[in-house]
């Protein structure tokens, strides 16, 4: 019911402009992918609620595209 906000959630709440929102979404998704190997559903739900479906989905698409094009090193 009540929970503390994670540092990612607090950092994202600080800036709400769309341009900064795009960057914040991308950074949060990249951190999630580095830590868990994927973007978690809970993070994406939070980003979609905060910034809207379009901004969050575009950010996820950009991160995934950079990943498939080899911009991120593989940890396997």
3-51 tens-digit pLDDT: 777 777 766 665 555 667 889 999 999 999 999 999 999 999 999 999 9
Is the pLDDT confidence value at 71 over 90? no
List the one residue out of 45, 47, 42 whose CA is nearest residue 27.
Answer: 47
| Residues 50-64: tens digit of each pLDDT | 999 999 999 999 999
**Single pTM value for the model:** 0.69
Whether the CB-CB separation of 24 and 12 falls below 8 Å is answered with yes
Distance CA 49, CA 45 (A): 6
Report the pLDDT value the prediction gives residue 19, as an integer from 0 to 100: 67
- pLDDT at 76 > cutoff 50: no
């Amino acid at each position: 019911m009540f929970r503390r906000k994670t540092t990612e959630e607090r950092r994202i709440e600080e800036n709400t402009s769309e341009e900064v929102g795009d960057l914040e979404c991308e950074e949060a998704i990249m951190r999630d992918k580095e830590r868990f190997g994927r973007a978690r559903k809970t993070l994406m739900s939070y980003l979609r609620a905060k910034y809207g479906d379009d901004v969050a989905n575009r950010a996820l698409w950009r991160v995934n595209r950079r990943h498939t094009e080899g911009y991120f090193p593989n940890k396997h």
